[in-house]
Amino acid sequence: MKKLCLPLFLLWLTAGLQAQNMLPVVPAPSSAVVQNGKFVLKNNTPVVVKGDQAAVKVAEMLAAKLAVPTGGSYPVKKTAVTGNSIQLQLLTNADTALGSEGYKLVVTPAQITITANQPAGLFYGTQTLLQLLPAAIESKKEVKNISWTIPCATITDKPRFGWRGLMFDVTRHFFTKQEVKQFIDDMVKYKFNMLHLHLTDDQGWRIEIKSLPELTKVGAWRQDRKGKWGNTPAPDSTEPKTYGGFYTHDDIRELVQYAADRFVAIMPEIDVPGHSMAAIATYPELATVPGTYHVNISDKFLVWGSGGSFYAISDNTLNPANEKVYSFLDKVFTEVAQLFPFPYIHMGGDETAKNLWEKSDDIKGLMQREKLKDVHEVQSYFVKRVEKIIESKGKKMMGWDEILEGGLAPNAAVMSWRSMKGGAEAAAQKHPVVMSPAQFAYLDYYQGESTVEPPVYAALRLNKTYQFDPLPAGVDPKYILGGQGNLWTEQLNNFRSVQYMLWPRAMAIAESTWSPKEKKNWDNFVGRVEQQFVRLDSSRTRYARSIYDPIIRTKTDGKDNLTLILEKEVADMDIHYSLNESVPDNYYPVYTKPFVLDKDVMTVRIVTYRNGVQVGKQIIMPLAELKKRAEK
């Protein structure tokens, strides 16, 4: 039944979108006009390109992408062709309305034409074109007995922001070079152009530094653990260190080129002075507190309190008072700057536990010498010195918003993660800002009903992510570079789990950074996302269907009466439930309004359906969990 009903629903959905003059494209184009007719892609349709070698490469990538699922051959031609063809054209007279990344896509029954000022625009035009083809175009093998048609339309499109990023933490768990390439392939479908690689942290050092070879001999490896993150005692020093890995210089060059071919820049992050246990496990003399250290395997070294407060029980910070630290960082940033062409290097600066600094004689001496009034100014002193090192390599420095504390370094850019406030403050000081606030953009947070999602300390549903606007009211737009989603991987130890957390929430980040603000519409976005689900199925990309799981709340009247409250993220579905321990389906009662649970209810079982098809997970809620939610 599901296999029969779902395609019918999707046909209805597509028809509905087109009736609204909206194509099922994510992110939503600036302007799209649907017209009558369709273009039929033949198995030998030529791709005709007019432009430089970068434009030719775009044509070649499009031809290669079309070839596998269709079984066709799409010759790339540099000379004029009439009739059935795909035309990619760099404009000789620039269209100022398109900018450097915009494009115009015109589909007629006879021909497809993509025009742009720059090759990047042609590339983004091809990504839109691919989304207009049937979902099977995403298949990694030939799909037969299908008509490869594209609806006629005229699309004029350009991005709202120049910085459209995703951060990939390859430190907490190591991901191979091929997996990073797959990450890039996945993100460019939605017109992201920035990959922020988090390369160092307490759990590993992931980049070769030839002048400091011990960093990867020691810092890139730790004892293996298979279970729950954070449920790990300190390792036995005799255990073999078999888990980890790192990228060689050649690996980095290959990734940088692979990304550049797809118009993605890679920004490296070396996270200091905190988050440095892998570095001080290698060179313990760089720590603030003398001792013996190991690469963290998720054993506890920080204690977290309310409101994000924390303190260290074991040191994971570089010592700002030790000149050897700056010599060490000079060597690191020298090689990092040579490997990454992008103008910025990210130096972290977040979550530095300062309680051990307060007790350090070295730090007290530094404060006296430099007339620093508190440990926040100590961090500012460190950040300003790091900025000078990075600038000496011909690069600019970016850091998390904690670098504002104690005084912002003169030329620093700020990536604002704790809220939009830090970014607004930096912009008011006329510093460049990338907005990536946790409440909208932390893609490692669980995204649906917590009892059936990976266990994380906070929630972020798709609807909330979609509310992200990188430009808050009252902030000068010229200082806002754009926005970014961040994917930390403490809980993500394989690439399938990475994909599950990214999609579809990263689509919401893509639309918030690319599409005009006035084009954003939640109900329409949901319809387009559901079309993307079919494409993700075709490409065998994992994703979360958590939008179909209800939001489950309870309240109590203080007399042991428990009221069940169920809410929906997607409006047009039904919530069915059982109270008698049986497994509900679409013939069970439909939830319509809050009600008080009978005293003999031990478990509430919940599932969602749409048009007779199950769309959500079976959720089992014991009475104890429901009572706990009422207490909160």
Sign of CA dihedral 33, 39, 43, 49: negative
What is the Cα–Cα distance from 253 to 116, expressed in whole angstroms? 28
d(CA 209, CA 336): 8
The structure tokens 């929906």 sit at 568
Strand duo 47-50 + 76-77: pairing: parallel
Taking alpha carbons only, the member of 552, 556, 596 closest to residue 452 is 552
User: Which residues are paired to 610 by β-bridges?
Assistant: 613
* Token pair belonging to 469: 């606007």
* Cβ partners under 8 Å of residue 104, min gap 6: 95, 98, 113, 114, 115, 116, 125, 154, 155, 156, 157
Q: Are the CB atoms for 52 and 32 separated by under 8 Å? A: no
What is the torsional sign of CA 626, 628, 629, 631? positive
Catalytic position from the list 351, 405, 449, 530: 351
Phi, psi (deg, nearest 5) at residue 471: -115, 95
Distance CA 9, CA 6 (A): 5
3-state SS, residue 302: strand
Q: How many angstroms separate the CA atoms of 328 and 325, rounded?
A: 5
Sign of CA pseudo-dihedral 247, 250, 252, 254: negative
Is residue 58 within 8 Å of residue 49, measured between CB atoms?
yes
The 3-class secondary structure across 37-90, one letter per residue, is EEEECCCCCCEEEECCHHHHHHHHHHHHHHHHHHCCCCCEECCCCCCCEEEEEE
Catalytic residue check, 351: yes
Which of the residues are catalytic? 351
